[in-house]
Amino acid sequence: MRRLTTLFPSEFLEEHAEELGVVERDRKLQIPAFVWAFVFGFAAGESRTLAGFRRCYNSTADETISPGGFYQRLTPTLAEYLRDLVEHGLDEVAVPNAVDADIDRFRDVMIADGTVLRLHEFLSDQFEARHEEQAGAKLHLLHNATEQTIERLDTANEKTHDSTLFKTGPWLENRLVLFDLAYFKYRRFALIDENDGYFVSRLKQNANPLITRELREWRGRAIPLEGKQLRAVLDDLDRKYIDVEVEVEFKRGPYNGTRSLDTKRFRVVGVRDEDADDYHLYMTNLVRKEFFPADLAQIYRCRWEVELLFRELKTQYNLDEFNTSDEHVVKILLYAALLSLLVSRDLLDLVTEQADDELVFPTERWAATFRSHAQLFLHKLGEYLGYSPPPLLERLTEDAQKIHKQRPILQETLATATQPRCES
């Protein structure tokens, strides 16, 4: 429990909540219990309901809170507060380690990626989706694989293109960025190169650059590639690797109302997939004398760590199943999911430190184990923090009683429907 309270000290949770105005001055709401109820309440169970979070809080805090008192605290300010906690946790907790020793020459290896979260259709105005009568949010992460941290987290509607969430600049110097196809843009690659950064990206299906030079000599009657469009010769090649310099044309950013055309030379590498009888094609500005084609393919596999991160959030934490039509509640649940993940990974680090060196803990198996013990964690944490929740019978009575007097319970409805009617 000391590990968790070091990650999010109670004093820090209370002071920051007061700074943002999350709590009133009477401190009736116990903020540490409130935060931990969201963290472990999100991890526990197959569905995440607001009533479930309230029960988690009532089973931990010294005093119970009514449904109305709980729901009125689910505000945009609370969403902002939980986002701040996520950013604090990201600075403290290591998430997937994806760095190979062969690429430690870079200052950092960065992975940009995003995923779509399906939302309630009533939120289609706030979170516009690609299809009508749907709502969707996009979670964008910039993952620092070297430091094992997430450097940036953004949320936007589904229609927001991933590439607009990635900003170039001097921060790219001596950093290697790995992109999926959503970020493929020649102008972006040029800006990275001009800021002394490096990139590796899959080559888009419709990209057909001009080959200006072959970077590897082939013996015998090899097909010459120089001066040809890449797609024009691809089907005729049977070699294990392709390694060529290409020239691409793109538009620069607007200046004085116009956008000038420019060209840039990059490197395209192909690694043959014998099973698919095709090539995995990559574009990069890394030079051949330091990185051979097989090296680039290996480096690009680092991206799989972030794919696993998103898969864990969706499969273990049901990240894309938000059954609410309130925009700020969506954000509260999103940040609760990320906090659960961070706490889970922090505890995984602790278990790994204590375990024998030969033991391996797959992240998704650990996530399932963490979820199955979430209620126990919350109970032990409440004891550690010195909370004395009401007796069990009192809590059961509080949570199980009928709330809305005007809403008949099922037995009352059936009894009324089956009563014999008087004949007029």
Q: Judge whether 62 and 389 are in contact, CB under 8 Å.
A: yes
What does the pLDDT look like over 155-206, one tens digit per residue? 888 888 777 888 899 999 999 999 988 889 999 999 999 999 999 999 999 9
Name the DSSP class of 157: E
Residue 217 is assigned to a structural domain of this protein? no
Burial class (CB in 10 A: 0-12, 13-18, 19+), 303: buried
Residue 309 is assigned to a structural domain of this protein? no
Number of independent structural domains in the chain: 1
Q: How many helices (H) and strands (E) does the chain have?
A: 15, 9
Name the DSSP class of 62: S
Residue 164 is assigned to a structural domain of this protein? no
382 is in which domain, residue-wise? 2-92+325-400
Cβ neighbours of residue 7 closer than 8 Å, sequence gap 6 or more: 89, 92, 93, 342, 343, 346
Question: Looking up tokens 């472990």, which residue turns up?
Answer: 40
Residue 376 is assigned to a structural domain of this protein? yes
Question: Looking up tokens 């659960």, which residue turns up?
Answer: 340
Map residue 419 onto helix, strand or coil: coil
**Per-residue confidence band for 227, with pLDDT thresholds at 50, 70 and 90:** very high
Least confident piece of the model among 55-69, 157-171, 325-339, 397-411? 397-411
Pick the closest to residue 148 from 190, 110, 113, 101 (CA basis): 110
What span, in angstroms and rounded, lies between the C-alpha atoms of 406 and 176? Answer: 62
Map residue 176 onto helix, strand or coil: strand
**Per-residue confidence band for 424, with pLDDT thresholds at 50, 70 and 90:** very low
Name the DSSP class of 148: T
- 248 vs 98, 204, 220, 251, CA distance in Å? 31, 13, 29, 10
Residue 154 is assigned to a structural domain of this protein? no
User: Which string of DSSP letters, residue by residue, matches 93-145?
Assistant: --------GGGTTSSEEEEEEEEEEEE-GGGTTTSB-SSTT-EEEEEEEEEET
Sheet holding 175-179, edge to edge: 149-157, 135-144, 108-119, 175-179, 198-202, 278-284, 261-273, 241-251, 210-214
Vertex 197, ends 191 and 201: CA angle to 5°? Answer: 80
Higher-scoring residue by pLDDT: 25, 141: 141
The secondary structure element, H or E, covering residue 317 is none
What does the pLDDT look like over 233-273, one tens digit per residue? 988 888 889 999 999 999 988 777 778 899 999 999 999 88
pLDDT of residue 263: 95
The DSSP bridge partners found for residue 128 are 135
What span, in angstroms and rounded, lies between the C-alpha atoms of 75 and 72? Answer: 7
What span, in angstroms and rounded, lies between the C-alpha atoms of 314 and 89? Answer: 20
R_g of the chain, CA atoms, integer Å: 27
Pick the closest to residue 55 from 389, 284, 377 (CA basis): 389
Instruction: Take residue 397 and report the two structure tokens written for it.
Output: 């009575």
Residue 10 is assigned to a structural domain of this protein? yes
Q: Judge whether 25 and 366 are in contact, CB under 8 Å.
A: no
What does the pLDDT look like over 304-339, one tens digit per residue? 777 777 888 777 777 766 777 788 888 888 888 888
Strand pairing report for 198-202 and 108-119: unpaired
Output the furthest CA–CA distance in the chain (Å, rounded).
105
Burial class (CB in 10 A: 0-12, 13-18, 19+), 299: buried
**pLDDT, the chain, mean:** 83
Q: Stretch 219-225: mean pLDDT, rounded?
A: 76
Residue 115 is assigned to a structural domain of this protein? no
Residue 338 is assigned to a structural domain of this protein? yes
